[in-house]
Every structure is written in structure tokens, then in C-alpha cells.
Amino acid sequence: MTAQNITEANQQYVGLRDSGEPLVTKYDLALVDLDGVVRRGNDPIEYASESLTKAATLGLKQVFVTNNASITPEQVATQLKGLGIEHTSAQHVMTAAVAAAALLKTKLKPGAKVLVVGGDGLFTACAAAGFQVIPATEPNAADAQPEAVVMGYAPTVAWPQLAEAAYAVNNGAWLVASNLDKSLPTARGFAPGNGALVASVQAATGVVPASDGKPSPAMYQLAVTAENASNPLVIGDRLDTDLGGARAANYPGLMVLTGVSSARDAVLAPPSCRPDYVGADLRTIFEVHHAPHEGPDNWWLSGDRGARVVNNRLELDGQGATGIDAVRAACAAVWNATDHGIEVNPDSIPEFSV
């Protein structure tokens, strides 16, 4: 199996794709993650706003898909405008809160009591879905006997709310998480995410939460349906959520190296969350992406860069671990080896500079 083969099992590429035209014209909808792609905390990521604005003028529709459930789509749109992305609006934002409310509707009737742990976005989405919202901040909130507990990140979430959630779940309430992200990128580094909060309730109850946040494909599918798109592209920075969700939805995924997952992480990625394209930042959507190809002596070549696996170790050409083509060549070499059952020593895979 080469890096361009399609597996018979799932009909998905296991390697990087080839695009003879820039991604901005190849696809009709970009499903864009926020944290790590557009912003880092409250700070803009370099080249993001100008790239997305230019892409919009070229006809690429955009929906911003975020595992953040703490704020409403209207608030997200306002934040994006503040970052220089003027062409967006609330209808072009899909949050994990909206997905969580949609998941609740699959089992609960309108008017059902739902205990909510989180921020404004989750409260608003659950109320809009027709549920009776019980804030976990209310004294003895679990005594209201909610049918479900839904949890989303908010900086105000503290032990008392987690305790009420645990009490309710132990009494039989359905546990739903807006997402299971263990960490949250901020301007200062990585902080505990909603997955860390949910894990405390899971530990106290033994109940595994349901979630339609990424890597579930639900948010992507909801957005594609709403936009009536036929050829979407997922753009994200996290392999485990953004790119894993792309694989789950069978949509092509572009990984940008501006957030959580590194180039080294991409090289080590299992088939379930491998990207189809890799770029340094959002300017890569205006580029043609040529897939690496196999050359002589087991070298995998991307542009003028090469990589191969010898004796279970990654070997790079004399230019070392610099440049995006080195990353792409390394991905092809390591993925091809592992797909042939060869275990590549992770210590041989360096950190890359792009």
C-alpha cells in the first residue's frame, strides 16, 4: 500500500491527497475550527483573517465549527469580526452547544428538565431547543430530578456545579458532554478543557458521557446540510478532534500547524485522524498540494525534500527537519511503513521547523 492508496475497508485515503488546483477553488465549503486556527486565546493567529477574507471573495463559503460551548454563535461572530473576519455572521457558526442540544433532542421530549453546567452558549442552546433549563449553580439543583445533565466548558465552572452534576447522574440522569477536549489552548499555554471537567463527573459516577462534539462528525454534518454544500473541506489544528472528525465524516481535512498538534504529531498520526493536507498556516489554502510520491531506494519525495524509513527509523535528507515539504515527505514515509506493519521508532522522529 502506498501513501495514495485507498483502503478497501473505509474507502478513505490513508495518505496525503493530491490537488492540482488550490484548495480555495477545489472545495465549496470550509469547515473552520477556531482555537488554534483563527485565534489563540483572544489573540489572532497570523495570516488567518486575511486568508479567510480573501477566500471568501473567491467564493469559498465558510462555517466556523468549534468545540467551544461557552458562548453563543452571535458572540462568536462578534469575536470574529473583532479579529478582522468581517464577512461572517451567527448563521455561519456551529458550536458544540448547538450540537449538544441537538443530541439531547434525540432522546428527550420538549419541556424535559436538563441540568446545565457551562456558559451562556450552552444555556441558550438548550433553552432554544425547548428544554427546561436548570442551572447547576442553583442550590441543590440535582434535587429537581433532571432527565439529563449537559456539560460544557466555562471558566466559572467549579466544584459545586460538578458535584450537582454527579448527584444527578447517580440518580439516573443522562450525561451529555458538549465535547471531550482534555485541554484548551490559551494565550498563556494549555489549560484544562471540558473533557477534564467531564472526567471528574465520570470518575465520580462511573458513567461514560455521550457527546456529539468533535471528533464526532455531527457538527460537520449539520453545517454541510445547512449550507447545502457538496464538497466540504475541514480545516483544523488538532488531530484528535478536528481531523478525527473529518475522517469520521469522510470529509477531506487540512491540518494547519498553528495550534495544538505539531508536525511531529502528524507524522505519528494513526489512520483514524490523519490529515489529507498539511500546511504551515491558512495561507496554504491558496496553494496547489502535490502528494508525496515514492522514489528510488524507498525515499518518499515532496517538492525537493525526501524521507524514508530504514531499520525502523525515520531518515530525512541532508536538509534536516525544516520546511513543510520535509513534514509531508516524513508523513508519507512513516505512514507507508506503519501501514505495512513496520513499527517506526518514535524517537527517530524529530520536531520540525516550518
* C-beta neighbour count of 55 within 10 angstroms: 23
User: Annotated active-site positions, please?
Assistant: 33, 35
Cα–Cα nearest to 265, from 318, 172, 330? 330
- Note the helical H segments in the chain: 23-26, 48-57, 73-82, 96-104, 120-128, 159-170, 194-205, 218-227, 244-249, 263-267, 324-339
Burial class (CB in 10 A: 0-12, 13-18, 19+), 263: buried
- Note the helical H segments in 33-87: 48-57, 73-82
Q: Which residue type is seen at 254?
A: L
> CA dihedral defined by 297, 299, 305, 309, rounded to 10 degrees?
-120
Whether the Cβ atoms of residue 166 and residue 201 lie closer than 8 Å to each other: yes
Radius of gyration (Cα) for the chain, nearest Å?
21
